[in-house]
Amino acid sequence: MERTGKTKATAKVLLEAAVKARANSGDADLNNDSTIEMLMQVPWPWKMETSKLNEGSKGNYTDVIERIIILGLGAVKLREATTGRMDRWLGKERRRRVG
């Protein structure tokens, strides 16, 4: 996606507005109200079909997504998935699993 304007600042404002409009439209596959679980369901099946990973590795990755990511974050809406929130969750998971 790109936008042009008379100035760089104008183009940036137009681009940000277009991105926001697309994210909030009902036409997008995912939007601000989509959940992390929905996000994981978009690329993951394709990745598993096209990956050259062995079946054991595919199973391990799928297990982590289902047992850790979706259980821990699945209900979080994308608009709520801020960098800070994700960083805190990762830190908590790391501490819990490392000891």
Higher-pLDDT residue of 68 and 49 is: 68
Kindly state whether residues 23 and 36 are assigned to the same domain.
no
Tokens of 89: 């969750």
Bridge partners for 35 per DSSP? 77
Bridge partners for 68 per DSSP? none
20/27 Cα distance (integer angstroms): 13
37/95 Cα distance (integer angstroms): 23
- Terminal-residue alpha carbon distance, the chain: 44
What's the total number of domains in the chain? 2
Kindly state whether residues 19 and 66 are assigned to the same domain.
no
Kindly state whether residues 57 and 90 are assigned to the same domain.
yes
Domain that holds residue 70: 32-98
Tokens of 11: 């183009």
Kindly state whether residues 86 and 39 are assigned to the same domain.
yes
Which residue shows structure tokens 């277009």?
A: 18
Kindly state whether residues 39 and 59 are assigned to the same domain.
yes
pLDDT at residue 50 is higher than 90: no
Residue 27 pLDDT grade (very low, low, confident, very high; cuts 50, 70, 90):
low
User: Which residue type is seen at 70?
Assistant: I
pTM value is 0.63
Kindly state whether residues 54 and 25 are assigned to the same domain.
no
Kindly state whether residues 73 and 61 are assigned to the same domain.
yes
> pLDDT tens across 68-82, in order?
999 999 999 999 999
Residue 9 pLDDT: 92
Residue 66 pLDDT: 92
5/44 Cα distance (integer angstroms): 37
